[in-house]
Each structure stands twice: as C-alpha cells, then as structure tokens.
Structure 1
Amino acid sequence: MKSLVFTILSFWFLCCSADKEKVLVEESDSASIFNSNAQVTQVSISGEPNAYTFNTTISSPDTGCDQYADWWEIIDLEGKLIYRRVLAHSHVDEQPFTRSGSNIPLESTREVYIRVHMNTTSYSNAVLKGAIDTGFSSSELDIEFAKELENVEPLPNGCAF
C-alpha cells in the first residue's frame, strides 16, 4: 500500500509541481539491503543538464567524530567519480539529514549510483541507482566496487563536531 501511495504522490509531484523540482525517490524500503552502515534514502533533483542540484537524504549511525557519514557521491556504472559532497561533521541529532550538491555535470539520461561513505566502515552497499529522466530506486552494490575512490579528492580534512 505504501508503495502505491508513493507512486501516486510521486506522479502528482512530477507532473504538477510549480517549482519543477523532481523528487526521484522517496523514503527507501531497502531494509533488506541495509547493512549497519549508512544509506542514501531519498534524492530530489532540480536544475538542467550539466548543472543539476541533488538534495540527498542520508540515514547514518553517527555517534560523533568517531563515527559519521563523511561524504556522499555520484559515480557512473563503471565506477568513475562524477561528484562528491564532503560532510564536515557528524549528524548525531539530525537523522536522517539532507545535504545538497550543486552544478553537478550530468546528463539527464545517464545512469549512475548515489552512495554514502562512513569514516569507519567505508562505503555502504545500499545505494540508489537510476537516471534523472527515469528516477532512482534502491539497489545493492558490492562495497568493493570502485573502492579506490576513497583516496580521490575531494576528501574530508577532519570533523568539526
């Protein structure tokens, strides 16, 4: 039932929204693929090709600077980094939380993964997969996929709190 309501509301929002921002996935039902790591649960996108803004919602088991989601990123299906949003602090009292990334160089038809990284446990296997034109859905990705991106800039330079 929740899925049907979401589908109807998503259709209405995509067709009728005055500000033309697309909500491309709503709260994820991916508990089956959720590990004890963080996960991207929602994304809404506005803008135009090669200059999109992604408002990305993350749920993570933050405890402070000792354990927190330190970035989310967009990668293509081959593992190339398209965009990374570094998170400067933990979000212990703000769960889930949403952070934006702007001027993302992406065509509306290009399929990508959106994933989150934890400072202690690396990448989550719970990702969103899709394209701006077709929407995103929960998926599972091997945590070793494109793991070498952990060493690619931009990277966090500490944790504020």
Structure 2
Amino acid sequence: MKTLACTILSFWFLCCSTDKEEVLVDESDSTSIFDFNAQVTEVNISGESNAYTIATTVSSPDTGCDQYADWWEIIDLEGNLIYRRILTHSHVDEQPFTRSGSNIPLENDDEVYIRVHMNTTGYASAVQKGSIDNGFSAAELSSEFAEGLEKIAPLPNGCAF
C-alpha cells in the first residue's frame, strides 16, 4: 500500500505540477523521493546445519531514528518467518553495514529470502534469495509479499540513535 501511495504521489508530481523543472529528481541525490528503501547486498554464512550464523550486509537511506532500517529477516518461500535480526539504531554514518544473527535454524538446502525492513516504508523489494548449499544472489520480491509479518514479534521497541 505504501508503494502504491508513493507511485501515485510521484506520478502526480511529474504529470500535474505547473513547474516541472522543480520536480525533476537529481539521480545522484541518495535521499531523493524515489530512494525510500534499503537492500540486502551481501550474505555470509558460517556454522552448521540448524545453527548457522548469517552476516547480512545492508545498504539503507538512514537519516536517524526518523528513517532507518529497523530489521532484516529470513523467510521461507511461502512467507513464513524463520529468523529476524532487530536493528536497534540507525546507521547514518556506517553505510553499508553488516550485522549477524546466530543459531539460525536452516538446513543446507532450505531455499529462503533475506530481506530488510525500513521503519518508514516497510519491506524492500530488493532481496537475496538462495540456500546454504547454493549461495545467495540478488532477486526482486514484491514488497507486499508476507507483509503481515510486520506485526509479528520480535519487533523493535524504539531507536537508540
């Protein structure tokens, strides 16, 4: 729903504004209205079956507690939550950043998505898809896929900074 609202707003600005010069977006500006979401850029795995440690690298347009990546998660292909790593603060000056989760209950051949969530815009569509055996690679997933997980614990209980 948030994505639809952003699309409609962007369309209105581009089509309906009386001064189109003012609404053109500088693509080099990383905080443009078109750059709302974060993305998982790398996944590193260690450990053993049903007790893996996964280090996930995230790139996000954090500006502080008003806009930051508040978690990354692992979900199966049906949208069931397997693991969630809560991010307790913004990473304005640390981009991209890597955070690990441990004791993750995956088998070597379990195919999953790893995605990131922004506190302001929800799930990113840029994800990593793969398995322990075959590795992970960039993929696209609808930001609405299993969006009901946004309300399932564990959830962040605030932003430290």
Does TM, scored on the shorter chain, surpass 0.5? Answer: yes
TM-superposition CA deviations, 1:39-89 (whole Å, max 9, x none): 000010000000000000000000000000000000000000000000000
Q: Do 1:109 and 1:133's aligned partners in 2 also have CA atoms closer than 8 Å? A: yes
RMSD: 1.1
Give the corresponding residue for 1:140. Answer: 140
How far residue 36 of structure 1 moved from its aligned partner, in angstroms, is 3.3
Give the corresponding residue for 1:150. Answer: 150
- Percent identical pairs in the alignment equals 77
Aligned length in residues: 128
Instruction: Note the residue ranges of structure 1 that are not aligned, 5 or more in a row.
Output: 1-33
Q: Which amino acid aligns with 1:146?
A: A
Give the corresponding residue for 1:83. Answer: 83
Tell me how far apart the structure 1 counterparts of residues 105 and 57 of structure 2 sit (CA, whole Å).
20
Q: Do 1:35 and 1:125's aligned partners in 2 also have CA atoms closer than 8 Å? A: no
Tell me how far apart the structure 1 counterparts of residues 147 and 132 of structure 2 sit (CA, whole Å).
24
How far residue 35 of structure 1 moved from its aligned partner, in angstroms, is 5.5
Give the corresponding residue for 2:20. Answer: none
Give the corresponding residue for 2:61. Answer: 61
Secondary structure of 1:150's counterpart equals helix
Instruction: Note the residue ranges of structure 2 that are not aligned, 5 or more in a row.
Output: 1-33
Tell me how far apart the structure 2 counterparts of residues 108 and 65 of structure 1 sit (CA, whole Å).
36
Residues 35/109 of structure 1: CA separation in 2 closer, same or farther (3 Å cut): farther
Tell me how far apart the structure 2 counterparts of residues 143 and 56 of structure 1 sit (CA, whole Å).
19
Secondary structure of 2:88's counterpart equals coil
Secondary structure of 1:159's counterpart equals coil
Residues 150/47 of structure 1: CA separation in 2 closer, same or farther (3 Å cut): same
Give the corresponding residue for 2:45. Answer: 45
Q: Which 4+ runs in 1 deviate beyond 4 A?
A: none
